[in-house]
């Protein structure tokens, strides 16, 4: 798969995630996120997001003749009242919790364990996707590792190497201070212990609260999948998620040598051949 295809696949997934999360939260951050994703993917903006944006432009530019003038940001709902949680931070937390609920659901379905136990396993699981993004920007001291001969070979002076290292250090310090990061995440970033960051570290509340939140909201969430083959897509998604869990997390071996994928395969076959 080429870089363009990878970019388009990512953009499509991000746009679909934004649509689903906007339906659930009505957070306008997802309107902008969807439009940005379609621009990156080089395909037409989704109608729902474009319609909301154009209505905000109308309110800011046309309706202002008869009412108090507002900015497009304000008309769209991106500006919060004093004391309110910024929409970007709220959206980041909602997306994180959504992914955590999905992981709980997959564990519960694939490994036939209780919801509290599924919540515990998900809560303490390493957030590989989050960590993968950090590995590209993590600060590692490196200037002292270069010998004079190596510097000569790459055409850089020691001062230039030290300047590059200082730039990386300042960028890392700025990243650690991001407001959406919990104290647990910031602590592990400061100690460069990024490979141990869990979903629980990121979500910022206790395991007991996750269990309560899942019972109240997570178990009743809408499926990520949409379209005429909802049931088939849902089963297939859980099937491959379960396969990924088996290869990613050592605790899966404690639950079962192999999850009951035969049942999933039978259900996939039934839904695929069911009359429409």
What confidence tens digit (pLDDT) does each residue in 172-199 have? 889 899 888 999 999 999 988 888 898 9
Handedness of CA 54, 58, 61, 64 (dihedral sign): negative
Q: Per-residue DSSP letters for 154-183?
A: HT--HHHHHHHHHHHHHHHHHHHT-TTS-H
For the packed helices 29-41 and 47-61, what is the interaxial angle rounded to 10 degrees?
A: 120
**Alpha helices, DSSP H only, in 26-86?**
29-41, 47-61, 72-76
Residues of the chain above pLDDT 90, percent: 14
User: Over the stretch 119-167, which tens digit does the pLDDT of each residue have?
Assistant: 888 888 888 888 887 887 777 766 677 888 888 888 888 888 888 888 8
Domain positions in the chain: 1-79, 86-126+202-276, 128-197
* SS3 at position 60: helix
């Amino acid at each position: 798969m080429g870089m363009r295809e990878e970019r388009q696949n990512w953009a499509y997934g991000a746009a679909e995630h934004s649509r689903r999360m906007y339906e659930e939260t009505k957070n306008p951050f997802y309107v902008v996120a969807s439009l940005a994703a379609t621009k990156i993917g080089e395909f037409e903006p989704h109608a729902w997001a474009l319609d909301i944006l154009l209505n905000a432009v109308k309110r800011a530019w046309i309706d202002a003749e008869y009412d108090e003038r507002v900015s497009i940001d304000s008309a769209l709902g991106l500006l919060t009242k004093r004391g309110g949680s910024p929409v970007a931070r709220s959206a980041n937390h909602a997306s994180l919790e959504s992914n955590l609920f999905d992981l709980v659901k997959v564990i519960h379905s694939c490994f036939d364990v209780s919801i509290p136990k599924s919540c515990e396993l998900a809560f303490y699981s390493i957030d590989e996707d989050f960590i993968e993004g950090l590995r590209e920007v993590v600060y590692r001291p490196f200037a002292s590792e270069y010998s004079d001969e190596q510097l000569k070979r790459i055409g850089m002076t020691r001062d230039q190497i030290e300047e590059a290292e200082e730039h990386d250090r300042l960028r890392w310090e700025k990243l650690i201070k991001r407001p959406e990061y919990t104290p647990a995440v910031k602590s592990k970033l400061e100690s460069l212990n990024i490979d141990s960051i869990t979903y629980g570290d990121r979500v910022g509340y206790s395991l007991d609260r996750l269990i309560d939140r899942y019972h109240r909201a997570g178990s009743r969430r809408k499926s990520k999948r949409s379209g005429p083959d909802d049931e088939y897509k849902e089963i297939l998604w859980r099937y491959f998620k379960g396969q990924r869990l088996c290869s990613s997390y050592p605790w899966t071996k404690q639950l079962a040598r192999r999850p009951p994928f035969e049942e999933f395969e039978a259900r996939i076959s039934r839904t695929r051949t069911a009359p429409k």
